[in-house]
Structure 1
Amino acid sequence: MSSVRKRSITIAGHATSISLEEPFWDALREIAVARGQSVAEVVTEIDAGRATGPDGPRGNLSSALRVHVLAYYRDPSTEPTAPSVPED
């Protein structure tokens, strides 16, 4: 089982501590590279897309990041391409 790592990311000029398991940090780095962005930029976009209520964003950011990573890798258009096998 992977341990939880806490990292600080700046969102809208404010340092925010985020706790995620290492595989999720790895996945966020992969997503950032694929998009030509930094991890902080990806996290900022995910944060901005969260549903908001009268007191601000609903749910916690760590959960939103995990759901985003899952959705990203479940989307067939974002899967790594396997080498094609020529048809006979």
Structure 2
Amino acid sequence: MSQMKRSLSLAGHRTSLALEPEFWAVLDAACAKTGRSLASLLAEIDAARIREGYDGGLASACRVWALRHVQSRA
């Protein structure tokens, strides 16, 4: 599976995040449904990752968030 890289600003810093297209699709759909920006959602995921002491990086936290999001709607 190939990854797609996107660049964005988080906490005032430019960063790049590489995820598989399927995960980007879940994140994009969640943003479209709620009317929020992707940067806002990723900042929330990043803050929760830090707050909860998650060992993985942001990309991993985004994958877990996307999986939980899909599972909660199944």
User: Could you say whether these structures have the same fold, taking a TM-score greater than 0.5 normalized by the shorter chain as the test?
Assistant: yes
- 1:19-41 Cα shifts (integer Å, max 9, x gaps): 10011111110011112101111
Aligned match of 1:65: 62
**More helix per residue:** 2
Aligned match of 1:75: 72
TM-score, length basis structure 1: 0.74
Percent identity, aligned pairs only, is 41
Query: How many angstroms apart in 1 are the aligned matches of 2:51 and 2:65?
Result: 16
Confirm whether residue 39 of structure 1 aligns to residue 38 of structure 2.
Answer: yes
Report 1 or 2 for greater relative contact order, CA contacts < 8 Å, sequence distance ≥ 6.
2
- More moved, 22-31 vs 56-65: 56-65
Query: How many angstroms apart in 2 are the aligned matches of 1:74 and 1:45?
Result: 19
Q: How many residues align?
A: 74
**What value does the CA root-mean-square deviation take over the aligned residues?**
2.0
| Structure 1 portions without partners, runs of 5+ | 80-88
Secondary structure at the counterpart of residue 10 of structure 1: strand
Q: Answer whether contact 1:52 1:58 (CA < 8 A) is retained.
A: no
Which protein has the larger Cα radius of gyration, Structure 1 or Structure 2?
Answer: 1
